[in-house]
A and B are shown apart, each in its own frame.
Chain A
């Protein structure tokens, strides 16, 4: 079966969770004998990808995709860091147009059975390919504009593209029930057209057994009785970090030996630094900045944490809690995350309930038994969150679409 897969990024040249999911999803699909051609809007080396064909839609050489504005895909400009270290802004609309043209060309000349498009940036290209080739289009929703704008309507142009893609696609895949509900509610889609396929994540064996920490200072302070609470992700309104800082103040008041490690960059960077200062907790809040999600510094952050927190206002799925558990940290997540549908052994809190958030963070760092128990059970639970089940569902969706076309 030949799949035309349309995505916006792949690791290690990526900025967010979607790239990771796309890569792992494709790898798992390829193992089920799916023949995938993955079209990217930039060209780069992917030495570890040998299970599918990666095709650059534009001859844009990109060393690293940067999300400088932090505004995910709704920012007007994407910036790229090229091989010579220069940052280049790319106009989003123009970039999309080029992508559409190239994908249309592929659809015209190539033989594909299914078109599988990931998130709104690729929807116009997906629709064009469907139009030209007559092949079924599956749109895969990793996040909606509703999520990215923190539960507001967001950018109307983006909403419109999402609306079109969702209505004209042959089938919709949502990464969580919560996302499915949003699609039904916010985009007027018949629920029967949407399948929920949860994400999973796999790790390299060698990543699991790394030694030595990148955070010498943090590790040392732990020997001095400090506890470490970590958050990692883009610093955007969607992630609910201002609530976290307000809760952090309550924690620090009770336990001054608490360090909050904030990993990530984004448009709230300055606001959060300022807020920490205003709250008088700058000595406890360490702004780590951007760390590449494929590096050891990223994994070491989870390893040194006593608790990982993802207080998102809206999170379609959210892979980082799974990474956190894999690398050694119990997690506190907001009930508004997709991952909370599959992860039971964790602390859960409503994103707006600052007091309860502080309460649970205090408990996690105060009672080692509680932390150990929740962590041990989460690890066991993690074994059940694997790609196999999800891939079976996707293959099933592909086959149904093919049968439908055949009829």
Chain B
């Protein structure tokens, strides 16, 4: 059996909440655009498109064109697709072109990149269905493998995905949970029937995603040759090397000047030539190809974030907990209202990024939080969010709902 690299890239941008004060509550119901027609989010989308999506897609397209065995998987959120449709249709087209090759798989997830699984099953299913519909409409594919927001995962989620008919699910390959087991094999989640579990090889993934441009890193500069060499050393009998990372690794987290695109372009050739039996696979293909080696029991919630690998980046402090609690306390009346715009705004507020911006773990992991936040402090993020939440409440009250 061949040994495969399973490259999986996550593509997402939230609808960031604009500067929104209490004077806007009850007056301005548009939380996400600075001016009619957009400014802030539009600017960010265009910047990321220019720095990352377009050059990365170009490089990936080239690899698909020149290397018949090159394959990969992506996940792309509904809220990003909406923004691309509005502000960067050429980027969406370039994703469609990639998918048209037949060698790019798209994963299932929540449309709004939310943590709703931990709050409401029915709303969770609604958002997953919305996402499936959107992917079918835009790309003509039906996702087979599930990824939850931030790779958050536990036994319950695996059981749900199993019953929902997904053939696979992914999460972080975190050693304290794996124990002696390696992430480079296929697994079966505990208490499930048919579904398979694939685990991120976080060391190799983070070498690219986080450490690539770090000049203090003893392995800097990282070349494709060196990277492939490590994969040989890692394990001769490995089934898959699961390289899971944010799409924005290419060009945004690691700037073009760091040589990240050259690395991306060079890597597949080195990989294929390093041994006879090496190839690339989409996640579905890997699941069809390999037998599960063991069953893995993960009762607690695991994510791919921070050194804790839990949900603490999103609900670790009381502000985050209050904000989430406030938002989901409106669940019933929002849905009952039947007002599509209101429901959609409520869902856009569920995007996990809003809560990530409120994270106060400033030091160590914190710096990465600060880099991604459009606000000067987690407190400002919280105030902004709550003011928008108050407006949502106002709209519900106007419709006659008890608030």
Q: Taking A221-B397, A273-B382 as contacts, is the C-beta distance between A283 and B326 under 8 angstroms?
A: yes
**Contact at B321–A217, with CB atoms within 8 Å?**
no
Q: Is the interface of A mostly helix, strand, loop or mixed?
A: helix
**Contact at A217–B391, with CB atoms within 8 Å?**
yes
Within 8 Å CB of A278, what residues of B?
318
Q: Taking A278-B318, A282-B319 as contacts, is the C-beta distance between A217 and B379 under 8 angstroms?
A: no
B323 within 8 A of A: yes
| Of A219, A221, A224, A269, the contact of B379 (CB 8 Å cutoff) | A269
Interface residues of B in 266-302 (CB under 8 A from A): none
Q: Taking A215-B22, A218-B22, A269-B379 as contacts, is the C-beta distance between A277 and B397 under 8 angstroms?
A: no
Q: Taking A270-B377, A274-B319, A277-B317 as contacts, is the C-beta distance between A286 and B390 under 8 angstroms?
A: yes
Within 8 Å CB of B387, what residues of A?
286
A287 within 8 A of B: yes
B139 within 8 A of A: no
Residue on A nearest B322 in the bound complex, by CB: A282
Q: Taking A280-B322, A282-B323, A288-B21 as contacts, is the C-beta distance between A217 and B383 under 8 angstroms?
A: no
Within 8 Å CB of B382, what residues of A?
273, 277, 282
A367 within 8 A of B: no
A289 within 8 A of B: yes
Interface residues of A in 133-147 (CB under 8 A from B): none
Within 8 Å CB of B322, what residues of A?
276-277, 280, 282-283
Cα-based distance from A138 to B390 in the complex (angstroms): 50
A209 within 8 A of B: no
Number of interface residues of A (CB under 8 A): 25
Cα-based distance from A288 to B21 in the complex (angstroms): 7
| Of A218, A220, A297, the contact of B397 (CB 8 Å cutoff) | A220
**Contact at B318–A286, with CB atoms within 8 Å?**
no
A255 within 8 A of B: no
Residue on B nearest A278 in the bound complex, by CB: B318
Within 8 Å CB of A218, what residues of B?
22, 26
Q: Is the interface of B mostly helix, strand, loop or mixed?
A: helix
Cα-based distance from A221 to B318 in the complex (angstroms): 25
Cα-based distance from A277 to B325 in the complex (angstroms): 11
Residue on A nearest B360 in the bound complex, by CB: A274
**Contact at A217–B394, with CB atoms within 8 Å?**
yes
Interface residues of A in 206-221 (CB under 8 A from B): 214-221
Residue on A nearest B401 in the bound complex, by CB: A224
B25 within 8 A of A: yes
B335 within 8 A of A: no
Cα-based distance from A64 to B386 in the complex (angstroms): 28
Within 8 Å CB of B403, what residues of A?
221, 224
Within 8 Å CB of A289, what residues of B?
21, 383
Within 8 Å CB of A297, what residues of B?
23
| Of A216, A269, A274, A276, the contact of B25 (CB 8 Å cutoff) | A216
B120 within 8 A of A: no
- Report the interface size class on chain B: 20 to 34
Cα-based distance from A224 to B398 in the complex (angstroms): 9
Interface residues of A in 98-148 (CB under 8 A from B): none
Cα-based distance from A385 to B23 in the complex (angstroms): 32
Contact string, A243-271, partner B, CB cutoff 8 A, digits 1/0? 00000000000000000010000000110
**Contact at A216–B386, with CB atoms within 8 Å?**
no
Interface residues of A in 14-39 (CB under 8 A from B): none
**Contact at A286–B27, with CB atoms within 8 Å?**
no
**Contact at A277–B318, with CB atoms within 8 Å?**
yes
Within 8 Å CB of A282, what residues of B?
319, 322-323, 326, 382, 386
Cα-based distance from A219 to B25 in the complex (angstroms): 11
| Of A261, A269, A286, the contact of B386 (CB 8 Å cutoff) | A286
**Contact at A217–B318, with CB atoms within 8 Å?**
no
**Contact at B326–A217, with CB atoms within 8 Å?**
no
Contact string, B376-403, partner A, CB cutoff 8 A, digits 1/0? 0101001100110111011001100001
Cα-based distance from A277 to B358 in the complex (angstroms): 12
Q: Taking A215-B23, A289-B21, A289-B383 as contacts, is the C-beta distance between A274 and B318 under 8 angstroms?
A: yes
**Contact at A220–B326, with CB atoms within 8 Å?**
no
- Chain B nearest CB from A288 CB (Å) reads 5
**Contact at B26–A216, with CB atoms within 8 Å?**
yes
Within 8 Å CB of A287, what residues of B?
383
Cα-based distance from A102 to B321 in the complex (angstroms): 54
**Contact at A217–B22, with CB atoms within 8 Å?**
yes
Q: Taking A216-B27, A273-B382 as contacts, is the C-beta distance between A286 and B22 under 8 angstroms?
A: yes
Cα-based distance from A220 to B27 in the complex (angstroms): 11
Within 8 Å CB of B390, what residues of A?
217, 286
| Of B25, B317, B319, B329, the contact of A217 (CB 8 Å cutoff) | B25
Q: Taking A217-B390, A220-B397, A287-B383 as contacts, is the C-beta distance between A273 and B23 under 8 angstroms?
A: no
Within 8 Å CB of A280, what residues of B?
318, 322
Interface residues of B in 303-339 (CB under 8 A from A): 317-319, 321-323, 326, 329
Within 8 Å CB of B321, what residues of A?
277
Cα-based distance from A270 to B26 in the complex (angstroms): 25
Cα-based distance from A370 to B402 in the complex (angstroms): 28
User: Max chain A CB contacts within 10 Å: which of B318, B391, B394, B398?
Assistant: B318
- Chain A nearest CB from B7 CB (Å) reads 40
Within 8 Å CB of B318, what residues of A?
274, 277-278, 280
Interface residues of B in 93-128 (CB under 8 A from A): none
Within 8 Å CB of A214, what residues of B?
23
- Chain B nearest CB from A69 CB (Å) reads 14
Q: Taking A217-B26, A218-B22, A220-B397 as contacts, is the C-beta distance between A273 and B326 under 8 angstroms?
A: no
Beyond A277-B321, A282-B382, A283-B326, list 13 extra A-B contacts (CB 8 Å): A216-B23, A219-B26, A220-B394, A220-B397, A224-B403, A261-B22, A274-B317, A274-B379, A277-B318, A283-B389, A286-B390, A288-B21, A297-B23
Q: Which 4 A-B pairs have the closest CB atoms?
A: A217-B26, A217-B25, A216-B26, A277-B318
Instruction: Provide 7 A-B residue pairs closer than 8 Å at the C-beta atoms, listed in order of the A residue.
Output: A216-B23, A216-B25, A217-B394, A277-B319, A278-B318, A283-B326, A286-B22
Residues of A within 8 A of B (CB): 214-221, 224, 261, 269-270, 273-274, 276-278, 280, 282-283, 286-289, 297
